[in-house]
Amino acid sequence: MTIVGASAVKIDPAEQVVYTSEPRGHFTGRALCIVSPKNAAQVCQVLACCHELGVAIVPQGGNTGLVGGQTPDMSGKQIVLSLLRLSEIRDIDPVSNTMTLEAGVTLAQAQQTAQSVDRYFPLSLASEGSCTIGGNLATNAGGVHVLSYGVARDLVLGLEVALADGQLLSTIGKLRKDNSGYDLTRLFVGSEGTLGVITAATLKLFPRPQAQTVAFVGLDSPAQALKLLIFLRDALGFGLHAFELIPRFGLELVMRHIPNMRDPLTSIYAWYALIEISSDRKEEISAHVAQLLSQAAADHYIQDATLAASTTQARALWSLRENLSEAQKREGGSVKHDISVAVEDMPAFIDEMNALIKEKFPYARPVPFGHMGDGNLHYNISQPIDADRASFLTHAQDINEIVHALVHKYKGSISAEHGIGRLKRDLLKRVKDPVALDLMQKLKATLDPKGILNPGALL
């Protein structure tokens, strides 16, 4: 309490609840206390104290993670280090196209900060109103614009990181070129708080798109979706910002459970693609996109399409995709997977995976959707109609084995954008290259010799 003040320490379990359980309730723990430092200096002091005493620290941002990486265990001996008070906008520079933000700034605030100087920060997630920059970087978040801008790691120029012993490492800066040694910045991105605690970051900005439109396309199969993706990628290049794949059943769930959602097309199709196209030129792009979609229809790459005529319509189309997870939650129990395969393999993977689930669990209902443009698929399986939720979820481990075995067959990844956390820690040991895993453990031992940083997560 001497370091951060009594008001910044929560000991009462009733006050800790929002910090000790993750959003889906799959991971719930107990904390010795919740500590909320207000700046990097206090973070370092807390870490130095915990390092000396051998007390474990669980760093936490907006607590939106889905794999338990931000949740303490049940021992009641770990401290949750909340970074929400580190919310300063340290610098924004439209000339160098950078901004430096503290870890507790939310993603939505980061986007707004970029907009304030007529710039664009492309990282975009459904939880952007509450997830934080520190958490985004610690998990190497992906989102819907990876196709054009890359993952969180690709958007970072420098970091400020509090190390386990209380030292403060800084690679903060606006340099685009720096070959002066190891790339320490990217070492900490995706490390899930196991190597250090990110307290601030210098991030890349981009020219704000001058024109943008959204299309919703009806398709007969993922194979047809792939043909459309290739066609649009070749025609639009960097202008193709997002390409999201949605099955008919997923769309039905959204319309069933989310108020004011409707089918954008007059006919029913087996699959859909939500496509966002942007341009750095001010001229209207809708006519150009409409022409491309007409050509795609003539070439049998699509069945039908509608183009948003306004920002409001574009937002409504995006709502169909963004509400998919919530709609599936309201439908009942589901087993979820955040995986990736090569883009060219996605249609074959979906077809083979659907066949395997139908064979092993004939009444379960797959909901494969996600970022087809970068190969990231959320392969979720909803419970059978009228099934008992708890009974269905007893099969989760068997379903996971089937899904991950096929991911391995396709040389994919068991974690595309959510991280490893506690959920996939043991699975990582089975699928990760042994040499890579050994090197990760050696890095952990070097930077955190007492093992106080997020023990039980990732490794």
Residues 37 and 76 in one domain: yes
From first to last of the 459 residues of the chain, give the pLDDT tens digit.
689 999 999 999 999 999 999 887 788 999 999 999 999 999 999 999 999 999 999 999 999 998 999 999 999 999 999 999 999 999 999 999 999 999 999 999 999 999 999 999 999 988 899 999 999 999 999 989 999 999 999 999 999 999 999 999 999 999 999 899 999 999 999 999 999 999 999 999 999 999 999 999 999 999 999 999 999 999 999 999 999 999 999 999 999 999 999 999 999 999 999 999 998 876 778 899 999 999 999 999 999 999 999 999 999 999 999 999 999 999 999 999 999 999 999 999 999 999 999 999 999 999 999 999 999 999 999 999 999 999 999 999 999 999 999 999 999 999 998 899 999 999 999 899 999 999 999 999 999 999 999 999 999
Closest CA to 244 of 266, 204, 272: 272
Residue 392 lies in a domain: yes
From the CB of residue 18, how many other CB atoms can be counted at a distance below 10 Å?
Answer: 10
pTM of the model: 0.93
Q: Are residues 108 and 126 in the same domain?
A: yes
**Spatial distance between the Cα atoms of 70 and 20, rounded to a whole number of angstroms:** 8
Report the C-alpha gap between 55 and 80 in whole angstroms: 11
Which CATH number does the domain housing residue 167 bear? 3.30.465.10
Do residues 188 and 176 share a domain?
A: yes
Domain coverage including residue 243 = 211-325
Residue 52: give its domain's CATH number: 3.30.43.10
From 325, 340, 359, the end of a domain falls on 325
Domain boundary among 192, 207, 222: 207
100 within 8 A of 69, measured Cβ to Cβ: no
Task: Look at the chain and report how many structural domains it folds into.
Answer: 4
Phi/psi for 180 (5° steps) reads -100, 25
Q: Is residue 457 part of a domain?
A: no
Same domain, 169 and 100: yes
The distance from CA 281 to its chain's CA centroid, rounded to whole angstroms, is: 29
Residues 6+ apart with CB under 8 A from 141: 123, 125, 131, 135, 151, 152, 417
